């Protein structure tokens, strides 16, 4: 009889110990799983995003640069307002803040051509308003960076 009671006590103690360990480990496993899912989503977003600056131009004496960037990836790029635009001479370019239409130089604004969002195959028309005028024969650098870090850059000469 004592053996049976001892066996029951050991069994109950073992079950309690197992439950304690599971209760301690399950939140950690759940957090790890959430981190893995978030990381996979981030990698998927980066793999599916691609953009290509197809043309950039400006005129002598003008502070305005016109550029067109095509979404050649598999997903829409958004929010466009969080895109980073860098512009300037190759040895002295700066990050240009987004200006939401009418803005004080330097700033950039955009329109979407051939779509209503910057979806795959859509083209983003970027207008950079520089704080100085462009000069004939000068080379300039333009870089467009999507919110998830995917980028393209182009040098062009006025």
Model confidence pLDDT, tens digit, residues 102-133: 778 899 999 999 999 999 999 999 999 999 99
User: Helix, strand or coil for residue 34?
Assistant: helix
pLDDT level of residue 140 (50, 70, 90 thresholds): very high
**In this structure, which CATH number among 3.40.50, 1.10.10, 1.10.260, 2.60.40 belongs to the domain 51-157?**
2.60.40
The answer to whether 68 and 54 have CB atoms below 8 angstroms apart is yes
Model confidence pLDDT, tens digit, residues 2-61: 666 767 677 777 776 777 766 776 676 566 556 555 555 445 555 778 999 999 999 999
Q: Tell me the DSSP string of 45-113.
A: HHHH--EEEEEEEE-TT-SEEEEEEEE-SSS----GGG-EEEEE-TTS-EEEPB--SS-PSSEEEEEEE
**Does the pLDDT value for residue 93 go beyond 90?**
yes
- What's the average model confidence in pLDDT over 83-89? 98
- 47 or 145, which is more confident: 145
């Amino acid at each position: 009889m004592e053996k049976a009671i001892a066996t029951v006590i050991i069994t109950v103690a073992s079950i309690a110990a197992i439950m304690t360990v599971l209760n301690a480990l399950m939140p950690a496993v759940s957090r790890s799983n959430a981190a893995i899912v978030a990381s996979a989503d981030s990698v998927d977003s980066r793999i599916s995003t691609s953009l290509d600056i197809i043309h950039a131009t400006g005129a002598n004496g003008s502070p305005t640069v016109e550029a067109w960037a095509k979404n050649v990836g598999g997903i829409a790029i958004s929010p466009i307002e969080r895109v980073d635009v860098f512009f300037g001479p190759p040895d002295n370019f700066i990050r240009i803040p987004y200006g939401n239409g009418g803005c004080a130089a330097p700033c950039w604004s955009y329109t979407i051509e051939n779509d209503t969002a910057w979806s795959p195959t859509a083209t983003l028309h970027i207008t950079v308003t520089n704080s100085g005028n462009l000069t004939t024969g000068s080379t300039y650098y333009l870089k467009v960076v999507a919110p998830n870090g995917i980028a393209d850059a182009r040098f062009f000469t006025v």
